Structure 1
Amino acid sequence: MKKFYNRQKELDALQAVSGQIAETKGQLSVMVGRRRVGKTRLLNEAFHQGNTRFLYLFISRKSESSLVDEFAEIINSELGVKFFQPQSLRDIIEFLLDYTKQKPLTVIIDEFQDIDIVCPALFSDIQNLWDANKRESMMHLVCCGSLYSMMTKIFKGKDEPLFNRDDRFFKIQPLQPSYLAEVMKDHHQFDAENMLQWWCLSGGIPKYLEWLTRFSAESDDLFEAVISEFSPLIKEGTHRLVEDFGSEHRVYFDILGAISKGNTSRARIENFLDMSVGVHLEKLDEVFDVITKKRPISSKENSRDIRYSISDPFLNFWFRFIHANKSAVEMENYEYIRKYIERDFNVYSGLELESLFTAILVESKQFGKIGGYWDAKGHNEIDIVAINDLDKKILIAEVKRQQKRYSEAKLIEKSHDLLKKLSLKGYDIEYRGFSLDNLTETMKEYI
């Protein structure tokens, strides 16, 4: 997947800031997005293509002195500076701000939030140096990070040294369904069944799409390639999460495993694991941005009727099928895992189809609110409710793998309770059955 998809607005904005930095002087951009979502590739595209002079510094979790040596070497070779021997990360920031008083430069600091692990005092140092120098320095500083809550706290937390120092805040999302379809068409893989498979296995994350395009070229059976000793997907969940979760990663993995098996309320997760998980659920949602809280669309923000889901379809798949069979993974019994997927994937992907149709409606930009509905007893469940208050329209939809299983009469009956609670008089109500049979048409209609 060498072609670069989407992200045009972000590319243009980043290039414009760096292009005008000699006139505007110091500009600070913040970029956040989960791991693998393509932040580094976007920055490369923006600054390589634009022939912008840039420096890329990655905050790896090692000692400050090791990082200082690494960065000094990069500065010496990239900027042609001789005899620069900094003692601290502060010295490096100070040097770069001085250097850019003469020459414009874009400086990218990747995994910026990990400064908190390497040298927490550096946040205050950056604030002091930035405030003192930015009016003279021709530096576009890009602070890039994968932990959304940490990055938001660093730049938006009132008590943080870098509070409101950012000039732009980019949140990089996975590719939307129309771009996923474009990738698949470019590789002659697009049809409704494949689209659902690729959605389950990638969730629109560019790195995974890259892997899937490679696998689909190597084998007719995608799962044969995905579930094998040579597949990077096998260890991907561990690689992506263990470092962030730290010493408690086993508890977090158990909770995510429980959710992936359909235990979506706190009570069911606690029953399944026989332990209290309230604090961990809050962290998975607010700190790690790995799960999403869902409430019935008619309920108030403080309603306790909450269901949890794993935000990323790939991680949901990984916990449901790979992590759940970790003993088989350790024995390299990939055939067993493939049979397990063969048995359960149809039912599992039918549920994931709902998240794909929801993503299509989100991409359409036609609705102000999109959610689901269930009553206090957990009955009368409706898969998708999308509301457009501007045009006074409500879309109420049921999602099935096969269209023949959809009954409009049943959907109308189930909606009585919801419509009473919403009390939206004068709204046009549209009832729809979404399925694999009409996925392609629905995509054309909405996006």
Structure 2
Amino acid sequence: MHYNKLIMRFYNRESELENLALIKKRSLTNAQMTVMVGRRRIGKTSLIKKSIDQDSTAVYLFVAKKSEQLLCAEFLELIQFQLKKQPHGEITQFSQLFSWLMDISKEIPFTLAIDEFQEFLSINPSIMSEMQNIWDSNKEGSQINLILCGSIYSLMKRIFENSKEPLFSRATARMNIKPFKINVLQEILQDQVKNASYQNIFPFYIFTGGVAKYVENLIMAEAFDLESILNEIFRENSLFLDEGKNVLTDELGKDYHTHFSILTLIASSKTSRTEIESILGGSIGGFLDRLENEYQIIEKVKPIFAKPNSRKIKYQIKDNFLNFWFRFIYKNRSAIEIGNYDYVKEIVNRDFNTFSGHMLERYFRQQFEESGNFSMVGNYWEKGNLNEIDLIAINELEKKMILAEVKLNKKKIDLKKLESKSEKLLKDFKEYKIEYTGLSLEDMQRKNK
């Protein structure tokens, strides 16, 4: 296999950069407060820095876990260097610093980006109400382009969307930074691997899910196929081994153990509430609700066309890497603790066909969604998991429906059986043009129409 020279250029994010440029333009006439969220490692900081790299007056501040006084001293130096301004009097509190910056913004326009903004809650919670008062009193006539960025979704949501919080309704724009889409992952791999195939694309999709930092790490390790990726993950001092814990413990807090147990079961195909409760021996409704709505880690999956109150509910972990981490790394943490990486790799290889079969279904559903050609994409099953259909894609304008069976091995696809399973479903779609198709690894680079 031939690898191209390893250069990580800045991929995708064109629409996000355009949006940030538009917001900056608006700030020249009206002060802007943009809230930017997204999971850790997704590339928020790189995006902000890319958007301001040609801006000589932009100020980037990172809120580290240190005292307010030390932070202010650090911030003050950066601001003085970037804006060539000197404060009147001593500054030891962030409220003083922010008030001074708002005054400056009435003289000169500039961008102020504050990264890991939610950390202020643990440093000094009163900063939020102080910022609100300063913002409300000074935004008229200000030309500030304020970007507030955070990785802990639940805290950022609380700060800006809870009506009892001081900064509620103050944001003028909100950006949720998502993983790279499938076509971008394919582009990245084509740049790195000559004649990249499903043997590269599929493991890259499974292990990174399009998260920028994971993509970058695998590229720097020249890990472009299943074997080399597993070798990179399961080695001494690998970033990936503690990654799930590092990403989620700040989000979930001290009570993360029960959440982790639930997530491990979901990743291991115990996807219904009944199954999970029977194993854990207690009610988990509150935990599932928080994992879904407060933390945005899991999502409900219902059969396509299911009624809102349908009880045919399965749960899945939204993030591909976390799905793998809970299925194979956290579940086998005892072996990993003693450095028995080969043992865990054997388990991965043993179970990989079953695991990757589900991930291939997820891949094609995502690919159909991202194609922009369909109004609805999902899967289907009847009571007792009967008549399962892996993928259904509908174009309501053109009255067209695609039903697909997804298999790792193309030879195992049975379209006659697919037609039989869809009979009950299609009774309500007599006006639709129906297409039955099989999708396998070889179809991963197809274009959906």
Length-normalised TM-score, structure 1: 0.92
Aligned partner of 1:298: which letter? F
Query: By how many angstroms is 1:258 displaced?
Result: 0.8
Aligned partner of 2:241: which letter? I
Partner of 2:429: 424
Name the SS of the counterpart of 2:59 in structure 1.
strand
Aligned partner of 1:33: which letter? G
Aligned partner of 1:2: which letter? M
Q: Does 1:227 align with 2:231?
A: no
Q: Does 1:382 align with 2:389?
A: yes
Name the SS of the counterpart of 2:251 in structure 1.
helix
Q: 1:427 to 1:147 in 2, by over 3 A?
A: farther
Name the SS of the counterpart of 1:374 in structure 2.
strand
Q: Does 1:112 align with 2:113?
A: no
Aligned partners of 2:411, 2:223: CA distance in 1, in Å?
A: 33
Question: Contact between 1:39 and 1:172, CA under 8 Å: does it hold in 2?
Answer: yes
Structure 1 residues 3-402: aligned runs within 5 Å: 3-19=9-25, 21=27, 23-48=28-53, 50-82=54-86, 85-188=90-193, 190-216=196-222, 221-402=228-409
Question: Contact between 2:56 and 2:82, CA under 8 Å: does it hold in 1?
Answer: no
Aligned partners of 2:74, 2:301: CA distance in 1, in Å?
A: 44
Aligned partners of 2:420, 2:323: CA distance in 1, in Å?
A: 32
Question: Contact between 2:223 and 2:229, CA under 8 Å: does it hold in 1?
Answer: no
Aligned partners of 2:282, 2:65: CA distance in 1, in Å?
A: 32
Question: Contact between 1:105 and 1:140, CA under 8 Å: does it hold in 2?
Answer: yes
Query: By how many angstroms is 1:69 displaced?
Result: 3.7
Query: By how many angstroms is 1:153 displaced?
Result: 4.3
Q: Which runs of 5+ in 1 are unaligned?
A: none
Name the stretch that deviates more: 309-318 or 296-305.
296-305
Query: By how many angstroms is 1:19 displaced?
Result: 4.5
Q: 1:127 to 1:340 in 2, by over 3 A?
A: same
Query: By how many angstroms is 1:59 displaced?
Result: 2.9
Name the stretch that deviates more: 211-220 or 138-147.
211-220
Query: By how many angstroms is 1:91 displaced?
Result: 1.6
Q: What percentage of residue pairs aligned between the two structures are identical?
A: 39
Query: By how many angstroms is 1:320 displaced?
Result: 0.9
Query: By how many angstroms is 1:380 displaced?
Result: 1.4
Name the SS of the counterpart of 1:24 in structure 2.
coil
Q: Deviations over 1:183-222 (max 9, x none)?
A: 1111116211221111111001111000111222699733
Query: By how many angstroms is 1:24 displaced?
Result: 1.3
Query: By how many angstroms is 1:128 displaced?
Result: 2.2
Aligned partners of 2:286, 2:197: CA distance in 1, in Å?
A: 42
Name the stretch that deviates more: 77-86 or 226-235.
77-86
Aligned partners of 2:236, 2:37: CA distance in 1, in Å?
A: 32
Q: 1:129 to 1:366 in 2, by over 3 A?
A: same
Question: Contact between 1:368 and 1:387, CA under 8 Å: does it hold in 2?
Answer: yes
Q: Deviations over 1:250-290 (max 9, x none)?
A: 11111111111110001111122223211111111111111
Q: Deviations over 1:11-40 (max 9, x none)?
A: 12212332553x313111121111111111
Question: Contact between 1:150 and 1:287, CA under 8 Å: does it hold in 2?
Answer: no
Aligned partners of 2:252, 2:26: CA distance in 1, in Å?
A: 40
Query: By how many angstroms is 1:109 displaced?
Result: 1.6
Question: How many matched pairs?
Answer: 440
Query: By how many angstroms is 1:352 displaced?
Result: 0.5
Aligned partner of 2:202: which letter? L
Name the SS of the counterpart of 1:357 in structure 2.
helix
Query: By how many angstroms is 1:408 displaced?
Result: 0.8
Aligned partners of 1:93, 1:337: CA distance in 2, in Å?
A: 50
Aligned partner of 2:298: which letter? I
Q: 1:247 to 1:86 in 2, by over 3 A?
A: same
Query: By how many angstroms is 1:163 displaced?
Result: 3.1
Aligned partners of 2:327, 2:433: CA distance in 1, in Å?
A: 39
Question: Contact between 1:106 and 1:142, CA under 8 Å: does it hold in 2?
Answer: yes
Aligned partners of 1:368, 1:356: CA distance in 2, in Å?
A: 18
Query: By how many angstroms is 1:52 displaced?
Result: 4.8
Question: CA RMSD of the aligned region, Å?
Answer: 2.1
Aligned partners of 1:418, 1:148: CA distance in 2, in Å?
A: 38
Question: Contact between 2:368 and 2:448, CA under 8 Å: does it hold in 1?
Answer: no
Query: By how many angstroms is 1:115 displaced?
Result: 3.2
Name the SS of the counterpart of 2:241 in structure 1.
helix
Q: Does 1:404 align with 2:411?
A: yes
Q: Which runs of 5+ in 2 are unaligned?
A: 1-6
Q: Deviations over 1:83-114 (max 9, x none)?
A: 66323222222111011111221111222233
Question: Contact between 1:258 and 1:273, CA under 8 Å: does it hold in 2?
Answer: no
